[in-house]
Structure 1
Amino acid sequence: MHQNHGVERRTAIVTGASSGIGAAYADRLARRGFDLVLVARRADRLEALAKEIASSLGRQVRVVAADLACESDLRRIEGIVEATSDLSLIANVAGTGALGPATSINPSAVEAMLKVNVIALTRLSLAASRRFTAVGAGTIINIGSIVAVMAVPGAGAYSGSKAYVFDFSRALQAEAEGHGVTVQVVMPGPVYSEFFGEAPPPFPAGLFMSADMLVDTALAGLDRGETVTFPTLHDSDRWDAFEAARKQLVHGLLQTGLPAQRYASQSAIME
């Protein structure tokens, strides 16, 4: 690791860093003393952000233009995760929506979304987890969504991808416990960003949070030791109740390998 006036340097990788939540993470992590590797498709925006952070905060910033839906680009970013000697945090922010009814949405758009939201996030998390577990320290931040706990018509694939991020991140955290590695999944509601493009957002304005406020809240949750952060959940007892109900359901599912009694007559017919 290289040093700066006796202070150990730390590097964070942020994907989706060219705008919105990713750009906010880049700024806040730089303010926390991290050097940065910024990843996104739009090199011009990355360069502008890097120049601003380097000049105002004095951090070292590397820009990597990459499309995480592209296999070769994803492998390149995996290589950076593996080769960055002072890497201590990765924020998997990159994501797309591919919203629309199942009867009319373009399947290619859905596939591209899954490559970014699921495949890229998974592979980069696994690469980081291997690195961090080996050295006994490191943080992985994955961006989920409140739609992970609700099936949303017109956003089936997107909500499904975020349900994956939610479960994958929690399982990864369970594995990382005891190895000095933290995995946080952030579950925002609507955020002011370029996510909806030119289309009118399907939520009232009062439900939206700014990207800066979201990231500040998520990092506060990280500082509190939260592995799951719902930034807009004011009553944390509701999360506790959700977890308790989930555990009760799991307990009920694992009592026996026999069909439930309500299916008994149908089972008899089938036999």
Structure 2
Amino acid sequence: MSKAIIGTALITGASGGIGAIYADRLARRGYDLILVARTAERLEENAARIRAQTGRTVDVIVADLADPAAVSGVSERLERDPAISLLVNNAGITLNGGMFDNAPEALERLIAVNVTAPTLLAAAAGRAFADRKTGTIINIGSVVTFIPETFEGVYSSSKAYILNLSLSLAAKLKDADVRVQAVLPGATRTEIWTRSGHDVDSLLPGKVMDAEDLVDAALVGLDKGELVTIPPLEDDGLWDTLDAARLALGPHLSQRDVAARYRPTASAA
């Protein structure tokens, strides 16, 4: 198989689920790969399969992204390897139970993996890609960003952070010709549900997307140039309306005077 090099994609959480499918799809698009996850055996299995099926070069980095030293090592690879042209910030974990059911260490680990690691990796990739005037950052969020009342609050907050981070990155990197995409899956059939002690098909019968369909749809959104891709959302006008309302708030959010409804009344005085 001929190798039309279009760059290297670094994918976190690539030992299974969404990350492993991104690896397969991007290799078939012509990317060489760097797969990052904490399970060495599964990483090597995925790498061997992709090499055999696509002929691409696939490196692996065994790293626990809750470990600052591991994140630093991956960040250094992003900054010093000029072949890397795409980052997929996919790694993420959830809680087994809710915020009040978990020890502080579990909450800290979720924040480290879901917030700190993707922030530092996006910063490293953003600096490198801006210097090269090319590159793409894909951040995997979640639709629970919009419905925190119905889902575990720490996880949904971490995913809301990913959306805000992506919107800000896109604005800052636009002039450097660096693409940013936030992908917001709905309920998707991956191992994260099993690990959190939930049967997703029982929770949301008939509303669970296959991970392969999710990734394929997200790549269509990338090809269309979308900043925010929500694969299960049929009416994209709903997102457009929400985003327009958010932007319309901007000019009104910082004023010298307090709003009239918060001023003391004469009777209160």
Smaller-chain TM-score range? over 0.9
Q: Is the 8 A contact 1:21 1:212 kept in 2?
A: yes
After superposition, residues 194-205 of structure 1 pair within 5 angstroms as: 194-197=191-194, 198-201=197-200, 203-205=203-205
Determine if the alignment matches structure 1 residue 217 to structure 2 residue 212: no
**Corresponding residue SS for 1:137:** coil
Match of 1:135 in 2: 132
1:236 counterpart residue number: 236
Q: Is the 1:189–1:232 Cα contact (8 Å) retained in structure 2? A: yes
SS in 1 for 2:120: helix
Deviation of 1:100 (Å)? 3.0
CA distance 1:164–1:5, change in 2 (3 Å): same
Structure 1: gaps of 5 or more residues: none
Contact 2:14 2:20 in 1 (8 A): yes
Q: Does 1:109 align with 2:106?
A: yes
Partners of 2:88 and 2:203 in 1: CA distance = 26
Aligned to 1:262: 261
Could you list the per-position Cα deviations for residues 215-234 of structure 1 after superposition, in whole angstroms to 9, with x for gaps in the alignment? 10000000000011011111
Amino acid in structure 2 at the alignment position of 1:247: L
Aligned-pair identity (%): 42
| More displaced stretch, 196-205 vs 142-151 | 196-205
Deviates more, 1:81-90 or 1:217-226: 81-90
Asked whether the equivalents of residues 102 and 154 of structure 1 are also in contact (C-alpha less than 8 Å), the reply is no
Cα offset, 1:132, TM superposition: 0.5
Structure 1 residues 145-204: Cα deviation after superposition (integer angstroms, max 9, x where no partner):
001122235511111111110001110000111211001000010110111224323731
Task: Check the 8 A contact 1:43/1:65 in 2, yes or no.
Answer: yes
- TM norm structure 1: 0.92
CA drift at 1:267: 10
1:268 and 1:120, CA in 2 relative to 1: closer, same or farther beyond 3 A? farther
2:47 is matched with: 50
* Aligned residues: CA RMSD: 2.0
Q: How many pairs does the alignment contain?
A: 266
Q: TM-score, normalised by structure 2?
A: 0.93
Matches within 5 A, 1:175-214: 175-197=172-194, 198-201=197-200, 203-214=203-214
d(CA) in 1 for partners of 2:248, 2:151: 30
Structure 2 counterpart of 1:165: 162
Cα deviation 1:33-77 (Å, max 9, x = unaligned): 000000001110011110000011000000111100001111111
Secondary structure class of the residue paired with 2:175: coil
Partners of 1:231 and 1:6 in 2: how far apart? 30
Mapped contact 2:38–2:63 kept (Cα < 8 A): yes
